Amino acid sequence: MTHSTAIIVAMQEELEIILQHLEHASTHERAGMQFHQGTFAGKPVVAVICGVGKVNAATCTQILISEFAVSRVINIGIAGGIGPGISPGDVVIADCLVQHDMDIAALGLPPGQIFRMDTLYFPTDPTLRRLAQEAASHITAHNVSTGCIASGDQFIASPEKSRWIHQQFNALACEMESASIAQACYLNNVPVICIRSISDNANDGANMDFEQFMSIAVQNASILLQQMLPACP
Ligand code: ADE
């Protein structure tokens, strides 16, 4: 299938929203992940849950690009809010992604900088960003911001750590996958967008907020996917 759109989601509930509308669907297993291929509103898509963390997310993204030949990647999920005024339920659309746990300071590199890569901030695609912003305008109950999202293989639940990530990278949100998805897309020259609903404030109470705001995240994902997918090129 050519020109298809990859949708990488975090949760089963988010995948269900897509599967309800997926026509001519077939499922293919690779690296222990289920890739659901079909058409959504007449557009070819491949939808998958990548699992938690940067290695799962990068592996999944490379399979989508190499085996399913996707033309763009949309990543939807949840994140901890770390920017000023970012609250649970809000939506953050990434303009760039960075790995907050990449640390080669011993060789003189700044936080986030990967050895021999020309950037530490992996940009999202301007067209997909505009589509995401238009789709998010249908989320009226919560604020929508655009800015940097920082990823690392850590669930952030401390005010000091979340303050450090915000100050170091000017990031609005933190999570565990999207910078590796964006890096894989950057290496393959494939357009990407990441959109995250805030489930917690990445502080001492992060695990409590997390459960409470999960359902809002799923509602946001439903609006975003139903608006964005038919509008994709
Ligand atoms: N995903 C949702 N909340 C998060 C947090 N606080 N840290 C990392 N990933 C998250």
- Nearest alpha carbon, ligand 1 atom 1: 79
- Verify whether residue 204 is a known catalytic residue: no
Q: Which residues contact 185 (CB under 8 A, 6 or more apart)?
A: 61, 65, 73, 122, 191, 192
- Verify whether residue 200 is a known catalytic residue: yes
Q: Which CATH architecture has domain 5-231?
A: 3-Layer(aba) Sandwich (3.40)
Query: pTM value?
Result: 0.95
Q: pLDDT by residue (tens digit) across 142-199?
A: 999 999 999 999 999 999 999 999 999 999 999 999 999 999 999 999 999 999 999 9
Alpha helix segments (H runs only) across 126-205: 126-136, 159-169, 178-188
Please list every protein residue whose CB sits less than 6 Å from any atom of ligand 1.
78-80, 155-157, 174-176, 199-200, 202, 206
Q: pLDDT by residue (tens digit) across 78-133?
A: 999 999 999 999 999 999 999 999 999 999 999 999 999 999 999 999 999 999 99
Mean pLDDT to the nearest integer, 11-31: 92
Output the pLDDT for position 41: 86
* Average pLDDT for the chain: 93
Output the pLDDT for position 1: 43
**CA trace torsion 197, 126, 185, 64 (10° rounding):** 70
| Sequence spans of domains, the chain | 5-231
